[in-house]
């Protein structure tokens, strides 16, 4: 085209925008060092390569998104890497710069063939591989076949592959990946070296997501990353997909920061703090409060089944804390403290009963035509169960000929007040206020007890509303207006400290008894394990 005799050439073209790569693809591991959560497998592969004991077939199994296909590609790179100078051999640390490494990473290496068994399931597809393995690699050290979702192959395809797996040419390696290893025939499994890739721990995922946010120059709250890590359920790919969505959500809202509140709203997750409060109300037998807490979560869009599922997780976590098992590192300090308090105040029998009631409720909600109503009925069943006597205590009373305790009345009759501070704590426990009873028993020293006045000296913080809530409950229980405050005068030992002192004194008295002292002197290594006081027996 000309204008006045001059050739102006082609008009300028707009710059072509680079296609966005999702985080799950952008941060796919390119080295074994970047493969998180699979240290045992990496160490085994490193030893095999170092000693030249490389299997002819590998089977990689695990849940989605833990790195099966990435590991297969890394093995292909490690076996075919020639190093920056072109003279390297198989290595667990592929250089990433030589032609084989770059070609495999870009998916264009002629000797590394990837096949999706979900879309190539028949014997004809396998027959092509069987014919091709007879020929040496074109440019690589090994000809490698990566077959993803290998469990999708037909029975005929598996049978056709058996002979080649039994006696493969020395220049061929097979790498199989599957999420359902139970569907792979035993005849194939026995011919492969199997690696089970583990779910990635939540704390490790959260740390990885924090690193990704740093690379992307995105600000994110630690709690938000912990929520994403929990939602990922051990899958790095799922977590990165959720993080991608959270970053886009933050940009849409104009904040530019990934917050825990935004992640909860985006995923429909329940606030774990609200669930802890709901769990506490269930233990205290507070039916109106529990129903109000459930409705609040429901109005925020949380599925009733999800509420019960998190309550189940809470009961499980309390039980683990009770057996002194290390908890989830991703838990907040507040959550750990709540679990510790509950584990100290709840028996295994109570926790088992809560688990069964919640599990039954969860199953009912999953099948119910009216899920929220079914969830409310399940919570009311738990509240009612909290007011019943403990079955073990009931059996003991009946065996001793005692009268069985009555269930807690729905509206207790007013009374003048417990005779002592210890009686007050016992009353709280009998009325289902286990957390209050535990705090007063373990964490409070008595300054003055003169109903309706109670002055205490806490040995640890009780919470901003503890005094007010306790006073309100005491008023409803006794019909009198109570004053609960912190006093400055001399205080008694906590009830727990008094019990410990009494036990120590009783132990010292047993050890001081002449016959016991004689036994200890005769057997210096003997220890006092326990004792029974038979002095009242006649």
522, two tokens: 């005769």
pLDDT recorded at residue 410:
39
3-state secondary structure (DSSP) of residue 245: helix
Identify which has the larger pLDDT, 261 or 57.
Answer: 57
Please report which confidence band the pLDDT of residue 330 belongs to, taking 50, 70 and 90 as the band edges: low
pLDDT recorded at residue 510:
74
Please report which confidence band the pLDDT of residue 211 belongs to, taking 50, 70 and 90 as the band edges: very high
pLDDT recorded at residue 538:
40
89, two tokens: 């051999």
pLDDT recorded at residue 274:
81
pLDDT recorded at residue 412:
39
Q: How far apart are CA 378 and CA 337, in angstroms?
A: 27
Of these ranges, 333-347, 409-423, 524-538, the one predicted with the greatest mean pLDDT is: 333-347
* Domain layout of the chain by residue ranges: 23-196, 202-267, 272-391, 421-492
Rounded average pLDDT over 361-378: 91
Q: Are 304 and 365 in contact (CB under 8 A)?
A: yes
- The least confident of 13-27, 80-94, 302-316 is 13-27
Q: How far apart are CA 347 and CA 226, in angstroms?
A: 30
C-alpha count within 13 angstroms, C-beta hemisphere, residue 253: 16
pLDDT recorded at residue 536:
43
Please report which confidence band the pLDDT of residue 209 belongs to, taking 50, 70 and 90 as the band edges: very high
User: Taking the domain 202-267, which CATH number applies?
Assistant: 1.10.8.60
Please report which confidence band the pLDDT of residue 145 belongs to, taking 50, 70 and 90 as the band edges: very high
Identify which has the larger pLDDT, 276 or 391.
Answer: 276
Q: Are 91 and 127 in contact (CB under 8 A)?
A: no
First-to-last C-alpha distance (Å) of the chain: 124
C-alpha count within 13 angstroms, C-beta hemisphere, residue 84: 3
195, two tokens: 């690696």
Cα dihedral 239→240→242→244 (10° resolution):
170
What tens digit of pLDDT does each residue of 6-59 get?
555 566 656 555 667 888 888 888 888 888 888 888 888 888 888 888 889 999
Please report which confidence band the pLDDT of residue 401 belongs to, taking 50, 70 and 90 as the band edges: low
- Taking all residues of the chain, what is their mean pLDDT, rounded to a whole number? 82
User: Taking the domain 272-391, which CATH number applies?
Assistant: 1.20.272.10
Q: How far apart are CA 463 and CA 252, in angstroms?
A: 38
Cβ-based neighbour number of residue 452 at 10 Å? 16
Distances in whole angstroms, Cα of residue 113 to Cα of each of 35, 104, 349? 22, 9, 57
* H or E segment to which residue 212 belongs: helix 202-216
pLDDT recorded at residue 168:
86
Q: How far apart are CA 74 and CA 69, in angstroms?
A: 9
Q: Are 387 and 432 in contact (CB under 8 A)?
A: yes
Q: How far apart are CA 180 and CA 295, in angstroms?
A: 39
- The least confident of 86-100, 166-180, 285-299, 322-336 is 322-336
Please report which confidence band the pLDDT of residue 126 belongs to, taking 50, 70 and 90 as the band edges: confident
Sequence-ordered list of residues with C-beta below 8 angstroms from that of 19, at least 6 positions apart, any chain: none
Distances in whole angstroms, Cα of residue 161 to Cα of each of 75, 124, 153, 165, 177? 21, 11, 10, 6, 15
Identify which has the larger pLDDT, 368 or 120.
Answer: 368
Q: Do domains 23-196 and 272-391 have the same CATH topology?
A: no
Please report which confidence band the pLDDT of residue 408 belongs to, taking 50, 70 and 90 as the band edges: very low
pLDDT recorded at residue 258:
87
Sequence-ordered list of residues with C-beta below 8 angstroms from that of 537, at least 6 positions apart, any chain: none
CATH architecture for the domain at 23-196: 3-Layer(aba) Sandwich (3.40)
Q: Is residue 414 predicted with pLDDT exceeding 50?
A: no
pLDDT recorded at residue 497:
84
Q: Is residue 362 predicted with pLDDT exceeding 90?
A: yes
What tens digit of pLDDT does each residue of 420-440 get?
888 888 888 888 788 888 888
Q: Is residue 335 predicted with pLDDT exceeding 80?
A: no
Rounded average pLDDT over 174-203: 90
Q: How far apart are CA 316 and CA 35, in angstroms?
A: 30
Rounded average pLDDT over 362-390: 84
Write out the E strands in 51-101: 57-61
Q: Is residue 537 predicted with pLDDT exceeding 80?
A: no
Q: Could you identify the residue written with the tokens 């591991």?
A: 29
Q: Are 94 and 81 in contact (CB under 8 A)?
A: yes
Rounded average pLDDT over 442-459: 88
pLDDT recorded at residue 311:
93
pLDDT recorded at residue 22:
86
pLDDT recorded at residue 517:
76
Q: How far apart are CA 79 and CA 174, in angstroms?
A: 12
pLDDT recorded at residue 376:
92
């Amino acid at each position: 085209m000309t204008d006045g005799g001059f050739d102006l050439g082609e008009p300028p073209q707009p710059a072509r925008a680079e296609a966005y790569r999702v985080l799950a693809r952008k941060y796919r591991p390119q080295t074994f060092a970047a493969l998180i959560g699979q240290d045992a497998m990496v160490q085994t592969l490193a030893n095999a390569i170092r000693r030249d004991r490389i299997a002819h077939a590998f089977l990689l199994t695990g849940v989605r998104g833990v790195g099966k296909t990435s590991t297969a590609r890394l093995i292909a790179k490690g076996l075919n890497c020639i190093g920056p100078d072109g003279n390297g051999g198989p290595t667990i640390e592929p250089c990433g710069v030589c032609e084989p490494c770059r070609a495999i990473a870009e998916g264009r290496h002629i000797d590394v063939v990837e096949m999706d068994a979900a879309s190539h399931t028949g014997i004809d597809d396998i027959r092509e591989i069987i014919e091709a393995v007879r020929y040496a690699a074109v440019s690589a050290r090994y000809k490698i076949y990566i077959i993803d979702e290998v469990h999708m192959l037909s029975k005929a395809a598996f049978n056709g592959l058996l002979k080649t797996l039994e006696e493969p040419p020395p220049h061929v390696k097979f790498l199989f990946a599957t999420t359902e290893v139970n569907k792979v025939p035993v005849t194939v499994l026995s011919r492969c070296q199997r690696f089970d890739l583990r779910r990635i721990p939540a704390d490790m995922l959260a740390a990885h997501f924090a690193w990704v946010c740093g690379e992307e120059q995105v600000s994110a709250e630690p709690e938000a990353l912990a929520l994403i890590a929990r939602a990922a359920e051990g899958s790095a790919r799922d977590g990165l997909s959720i993080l991608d969505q959270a970053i886009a959500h933050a940009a849409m809202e104009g904040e530019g920061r990934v917050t825990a509140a935004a992640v909860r709203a985006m995923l429909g997750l329940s606030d774990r703090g609200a669930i802890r409060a709901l769990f506490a109300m269930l233990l205290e037998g507070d039916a109106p409060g529990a129903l109000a807490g459930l409705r609040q979560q429901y109005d925020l869009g949380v599925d009733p089944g999800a509420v019960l599922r998190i309550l189940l997780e809470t009961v499980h976590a309390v039980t683990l804390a009770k057996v002194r098992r290390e908890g989830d590192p991703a838990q907040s300090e507040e959550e750990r403290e709540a679990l510790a308090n509950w584990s100290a105040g709840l028996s295994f029998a109570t926790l088992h009963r809560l688990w069964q009631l919640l599990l039954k409720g969860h199953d009912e909600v999953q099948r119910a035509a009216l899920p929220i109503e079914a969830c409310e009925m399940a919570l009311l069943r738990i509240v009612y169960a909290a007011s019943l006597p403990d079955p073990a205590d009931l059996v003991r009373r009946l065996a001793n000929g005692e009268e069985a305790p009555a269930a807690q009345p729905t509206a207790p009759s007013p009374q003048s007040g417990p005779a002592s501070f210890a009686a007050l704590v016992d009353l709280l426990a009998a009325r289902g206020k286990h957390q209050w009873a535990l705090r007063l028993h373990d964490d409070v020293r008595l300054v003055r007890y003169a109903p309706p006045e109670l002055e205490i000296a806490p040995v640890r913080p009780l919470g901003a509303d503890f005094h007010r809530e306790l006073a309100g409950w005491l008023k409803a229980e006794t019909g009198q207006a109570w004053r609960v405050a912190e006093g400055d005068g001399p205080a008694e030992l906590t009830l727990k400290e008094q019990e410990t002192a009494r036990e120590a004194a009783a132990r010292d008295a047993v050890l001081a008894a002449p016959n016991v002292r004689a036994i200890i002197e005769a057997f210096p290594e003997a220890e006092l394990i326990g004792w029974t006081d038979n002095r009242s027996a006649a």
